[in-house]
Amino acid sequence: MDRGGIMGTFEILKKLSEAPGVSGSEEGVSKIIAEEFKKYTDEVRVDALGNVIGLKKGTDPSPRRLMIAAHMDEIGFMVSEIEKGFIRFTTVGGVDERILPGQEVIVHGLRPLPGVIAAKPPHLLPPEERKKVTSRDQLFVDVGLPEEEVSSLVKVGDFISFQAKCIKLQGDMASGKAFDDRASVAALIYCLELLSQMKHRWDVYAVATSQEEMGLRGAVVSAYGIAPDLAIAIDVGFGDSPGLSEAETIKVGKGPAIAIGPNFHPLLREALIKTAKELEIPYQIEAIPGPSGTDAWAIQVSREGVPTALLSIPLRYMHTPVETLSIKDIERTGLLLANFISRLEKFPPE
């Protein structure tokens, strides 16, 4: 998968990862995505909930519609109170409170303010408190500025995002924040880029959805608006990591997982597996017996129902600022999607 002169997958991922875009305030990242979509699609629009929708037209005279979706929002925080120049906050999405003390953040006030989630030093903790997770009412964001300045720059309701560099690790591994689910957005972009050199019959609607972490809301309205005949959601799945069993996880570096379960249409799943096999793209099977917790869950029951599938990119340490994955898995996901789309004729297949 030589990408020639095109910006590499890591660079795209880094750009997406480092941009702010907490659920409900995705503008920081959606601008970048819209620019990328414009390079490879025929039209790009942003709907009422902020979903970025790129349409790449198919060659059929009256093409059917395929929706491919990945969410662009990230978990984060919101200012709830300002006390003596220190900021109290509430969480947006499933933030893991075990990792908060000592994290760097950006408070999106009148200007972006770098800050730290304040951790009381250990010298001053009673021993029993040292073993317990510090509850959020004991934590503050400190932007280091004098009280008056904080009051003039920050107001209740301002969003706060994690501040973390996206870095390369050994081999093809990378780490950063918001890979959930911007790694999948990077796969979408790669898919579109590949499709620009391929023929496809169906209209392809690539959607970077908003507010997934708040209850799949962007997917609900974008699926309604597009009314797809078929849909594939791309999200991250629990990658193997210390403390987790093989049964709970998929393997990082072994390709996207294709999901099986009530949320997914068996024939669509089989068609994806067939493409992966024919092209010898590594893939895994992930059994999801109930709610998938992904955009696929909302899209499947849009309007009169949509045959839906899910591709999962294996990800370690989900919902932390050090989410970790394999860049190759992102490319394999894009490659599988693009080839599936270029082969797509009838659904259900005859």
Partner 1 sequence: MLLKELSEARGVSGNEEKVREIIREHIKPYVNEISVDSMGNLIALKKGDGSLPIKVMLAAHMDEIGLMITHIDEKGYLYFRPVGGIDERILPGKRVLVGDKAIPGVIGLKPIHLLKEEERTQIVPAERLAIDIGAGDKGSAEKVVNIGDYATFDVAFQELGSRRVKGKAFDDRAGCAVLAELVKEQYPFDLYAVFTVQEEVGLRGAKVAAYAIEPDVAFSIEGTVADDLPKEKDVSPTTRLGHGPAITLMDRSFVAFHPLVRLLVEAAEAEGIPYQFKQPLVGGTDSGAIHLTKKGVPSATVAVPCRYIHSPVSILSLDDFENTIRLMKAALKRLRPEHLKIE
169 makes contact with partner 1 (CB under 8 A): yes
Of the two residues 241 and 342, which places its CB atom closer to partner 1 in the complex?
A: 241
Q: What distance lies between CA 170 and its chain's CA centroid?
A: 23
Site for partner 1 in 44-83 (CB under 8 A): 83
Please give the order of strands across the beta sheet that includes 284-287: 43-46, 52-56, 203-209, 65-71, 230-238, 308-315, 257-260, 284-287
Site for partner 1 in 296-335 (CB under 8 A): 316-322, 324
Residue of the chain from 122, 126, 157, 289 that contacts partner 1 (CB under 8 A): 122
Q: How far is the C-alpha of 65 from the C-alpha of 40, rounded, in Å? A: 17
User: CA angle, 80 as apex, 76 and 85 as ends, to 5°?
Assistant: 105
Of the two residues 4 and 242, which places its CB atom closer to partner 1 in the complex?
A: 242
Q: How far is the CB of 114 from partner 1 (least distance, A)?
A: 6
Residue of the chain from 97, 274, 301, 305 that contacts partner 1 (CB under 8 A): 97
Q: How far is the CB of 123 from partner 1 (least distance, A)?
A: 6
Cβ contact 55:36 at 8 Å? no
Query: Beta strand pairing status for 167-168 and 43-46?
Result: unpaired
Of the two residues 60 and 147, which places its CB atom closer to partner 1 in the complex?
A: 147
Site for partner 1 in 238-297 (CB under 8 A): 238, 241-244, 248, 253, 293
Residues in the chain, how many?
A: 350
Q: How far is the C-alpha of 295 from the C-alpha of 268, rounded, in Å? A: 16
Residue of the chain from 34, 46, 49, 167 that contacts partner 1 (CB under 8 A): 167
346 makes contact with partner 1 (CB under 8 A): no
Burial label, 245 (beta-carbon count in 10 A; 0-12, 13-18, 19+): exposed
Catalytic residues: 212
244: its two tokens? 């987790």
Of the two residues 25 and 163, which places its CB atom closer to partner 1 in the complex?
A: 163
Q: How far is the C-alpha of 316 from the C-alpha of 226, rounded, in Å? A: 32
Q: How far is the C-alpha of 268 from the C-alpha of 264, rounded, in Å? A: 8
Residue of the chain from 101, 112, 261, 282 that contacts partner 1 (CB under 8 A): 101
Q: How far is the CB of 191 from partner 1 (least distance, A)?
A: 24
347 makes contact with partner 1 (CB under 8 A): no
Residue of the chain from 94, 262, 266, 291 that contacts partner 1 (CB under 8 A): 94
Of the two residues 104 and 278, which places its CB atom closer to partner 1 in the complex?
A: 104
Q: How far is the C-alpha of 321 from the C-alpha of 108, rounded, in Å? A: 17
Strand partners, 76: 92
Q: Which residues bind partner 1 (CB under 8 A)?
A: 83-84, 86, 94-99, 101-104, 113-116, 118-125, 130-134, 140, 142-146, 149, 164-165, 167-171, 173-175, 238, 241-244, 248, 253, 293, 316-322, 324
